[in-house]
Structure formats: C-alpha cells, structure tokens
Structure 1
Amino acid sequence: MSLFNFARRFYSSARAPVDAAKAAIESSTPRDVRIRRQRFPQLLSKAGEDSSLTDVEKTAYDRLKSRGELTIERPDGPREMSEEEWLERTNARRRRVRGARQVAVPDGEGATVEEARVVGHRIYLPNIIFRLVRNHTPPGQPYNPYEATFRVPQSLTKLDIRGYLLSMYGVRTTYIRTDNRIPDIGRNNSTYSKGRWNSEDRYKRAVVGLEEPFYFPHAREDMSVAQREERDKLLNSRFQIDQVKLMREEYRSRYSDRPASEMLRGTKRCAGRLSGRSWSRSWRERAQLRRL
C-alpha cells in the first residue's frame, strides 16, 4: 500500500483499543441512560467495577442466592456458586438452539452417537433480509470490530435478531441496540399527494455487540489503485454510474440557461389556464427570487 493510500484511511489507520468491546457498549448506550448513570452512580450500579455481571444480572444473582438456590453439593461439602459460574450457566441456556434435542443413536460398532433431532414442528427458513452495513465511525477514530450494524425489517424484535444470527450464522451477541429510521414526507409524482412513499428508506437499524472481532470486508480506502479501478469498473458496468452523471449534467446545462423569472412566469400562465384563478408565489419561491 502506498503512502497516499495509507493517509486516506480515515477509520482503520489507528489500532483498535484493547477494551474495544467495553467502549462499544458505552458508546452505543442511549444518551438518557448515560446521563442517569452519571447523576446517580451509586444507586444504579449494583455490581462492582470488577464484576462481570450487569445490574439486572446482579439483581437476579442476589435473589437466587438469598433463596439458597445456588448451593452446589460437593464431596468436601456444599458451597455457593460464584458469579462467573452462574453467568456461564445462564449464557449456555440463553444460547441453546431451540426446537431440537440431543438423541442417542446406536452406531454400527455397538457404540452410541448423539445427534440433534427437531422437536415438534419443523422450522423453515425465514423470508427476511439482513443487510450488513459498515459501522458509523467518526473521522480520526479507529474502527470498532466488536460491533456490527444491520438493516432489518421493522417487524423484528431484539430476540428475533439474536435468534436469527445465532441459528443461521452461529454469531453470538452480547447486546443489541435498535432504532427505527423513517423517511421524509414527499410528494408522489403521479397522484400529487404527500406521504412516505419510498419503502426502501424505512427500516430498522440494529447495532449488535460481538464476542469475536469482525472487520467489514472490501473497504475502498484499504484497496490498491488496481483494485479500486476494477471495483469502479464493475460498479459502472452494473449500474451505469458514468452515464447517469452525464445525463444529469446535460439536464442541468439545458435548464440552467433559462432565467428563474422566465420559468416562474411560465408557471404562472399555466396555473392560471388550468385553474382559472389568480396565481401567487409561495414563500419559498419569493425567497429564491430574493437570492437571485
């Protein structure tokens, strides 16, 4: 990689910090939650700084401990389960593959082999699409590999997202943040009615915390000159990017020569003929004329 290409790397020029996973959790936490935690740190933080449990998990652990349900019988005597052991057992139950059970099947040599069998109705593949996009990384900051961003349908919940990633791809998640993206209100060119017509701009963004680091592939700033030219050529052959740019320039040059006052006069005449009423400029058009 040349020095010029290396200097253009905005997000991956710096090495990811050691505690990138913890920084990802703090940066993706909602703003009101961060403010509340700063104002009342002693009331909200039930687990210590060295504890691997969250506040909710710490409450559940203390409740089970007070009931005496965390006692383990040992040959040397009973003892209580530690926080790490309880968290490992809880996570193993959370990450289990639902809808299947292990069945011992006799092997040809007299031994038994365990295999998974579907319990109840079969689960078919979903007809939804998970779009993997690059994480939002401000300029000058390193890319966080312990986060992944998806665009999912708005009907999915956090439990659906966690189950889909685990069942389909074997990806284990630590946390999930979601927010709905709603498009702007526009005008339909055929019916001239206002509304949010473009359904592609309406989606739910899911920021998922990962246990294993993952770097988004095919970053353009990490490619060499030959790879960039090949990529641009492929995109141009599929989507005709250069042809669209040329058509836009021709359209702008065709209508940029006509003054704005002449175009407004033509619009006024057409509006008067169609409706039979007097036409007056709106506040936006008057503001545009003042700028000219």
Structure 2
Amino acid sequence: MEKLQAAIEIARRKREAEGTATQKGQPVAAGPAAGAGGVNPTTGTGAGTDANALWHAIPEAELDRTALLKSRILSQNASQESTPFDVLRTKILYQMRQNGWKRLAITSPLPQCGKSTAAVNLALALGRQPELRSMLFDLDLRAPTVAEKLGLPQPPSIAPLLRGERSFADHARRVGPNLALALSGVPDTDPTRLLMADSTRETLAGIQQNYDPDIMIFDLPSILIGDDARAFLQHVDCALILVRADQTRYGDFDSCEREVGEYTNVLGVVLNAYRHADGMADAVEGGSA
C-alpha cells in the first residue's frame, strides 16, 4: 500500500505540473508522444484540429431501448423517471463548474450499489444538454458492464487505448452529437498497473486537450474490493460515492469516504434504493456530502 500511495503521489505531482504549464501557456504533450509532423497518436490528428470535427468523426452508436429499460437506464429522454438523474446532473454540474473541475469518478464501497447504472444514467442525462460535451469511460475493468446496459455489442478491451496504442477516434462510440463512450468488453485480471500508469495519464490528457469535453465520467470499481479504484483516483478532480440504503453498512461507507478523500475530492454521496413512505422503491437521491 505504501508503494502504491507513493506512486500515486508522484503521478499527481506530474499532473499538477501539467496544469501549471497549461495555465502559463506552455505546450503540454497530448498522449504518449507527438508523432512526426505534429500528429497526436492519441487522436490520430494534428494538435490544431477543430474539436467539432473530431466529435463528428466518432462513429455513432444506436442504443437498444429494450436493453436500457431492462437495465433501469431511464434518462435517455426526459421523463418523470429521469427526474432524479436530471436533478443529480444539475447538482454535479453546478459544483464542478464552481471548482473548475472536469473529471468525475463514480465509485461505491462494495459492488451491487448501482454505481454503473447511475453512471450511465448521468451520462445520458448530460447528453441531453446540447451545450455540453460529455464522455463516459468504463474503467471497472475486471467486470465491465456499461456496454451490456446500453445494449451495445461487446467492445474490445480499453487497455490499448489507455496505453496509447489505439486512437480515441477508433475506440470510442458516440450517442447523439455530444456524448462519447469509451467502453471495454474484455475483463482484465490485473488492471491496477494500467490504471495508475503514466500512459493512462498522458492518454487522458491528450483526449481532454483535443476533444475539449465539459465533463469526463469514469465508472470505477468499488473501493473496498481492491486497489483498482485507488490507483485511478489520482487522475480525477472529484468522486461521487454510491451507497445502497438496504445494503451498505455505515462502517463500509465511512471507510470508502475516507479512502476516496485521501486521493481526490469527495463531490457528494448518492443514496440508492431508498424506500419512500408511499412504497416507491429504487429511487436515487442525490446530494452533496
């Protein structure tokens, strides 16, 4: 654990140095390295390419409405069922804009809290905002589920993208004009090293620089089942924690919140599956911690 924390601290300092260089107008490497002629291997384009053209070039995906409903993905269209996620979207956007944050991780103390379902619903709710560009990355690499929830064919592993071996344009899929998905369909038995690697940091920096998203959402593994989420939290500005009313113990939530707070900012906590007095179950209650 001490080695992991030391490595994370080094990576965080590198990222802070990149941010300082950007503020001073100094160039920041986009992706693992700039190729000959100024071509960025992360995107396959020159650094000056217009972001609108890059977004338009991402292949579009058609979502399976039957699969969405089966997985409780309710926010593709505005409705009474999407309201909790719309409220959550508004609260998250307000806080992130207030702090100048763009990268949001979503995690939970333990599995089965609904974090991936919430991440997908939040991404689709953001996608209905025409003035915003949003991205969703499935980084629960031992058990990726986002593609299945969306009813999409099994995608290839996201590992080559994070290593800088595949361009974002080749890997990503687009929903509508302004939501990009970077999914994974091949479970990885040991993703910790990849999630904390310099290549991952550099790839994300390149994607952010070239595509200029307003918000990047990362669906991470649960905190208390291993080191994967801890390894990646160095790369984000803040994190949202999902807990389940009928399952999560306070001790587990307390441990999760303290762990997340060691690596990044805790944006808030969502209480899932809260049973109202009128008998309505499985509501999502969003709020700031």
Q: Could you state the TM-score of these two structures normalised by the residue count of structure 1?
A: 0.26
RCO higher in 1 or 2 (8 Å CA, sep ≥ 6)? 2
Q: Report which of the two structures shows the higher radius of gyration computed on alpha carbons.
A: 1
Q: Could you state the TM-score of these two structures normalised by the residue count of structure 2?
A: 0.26
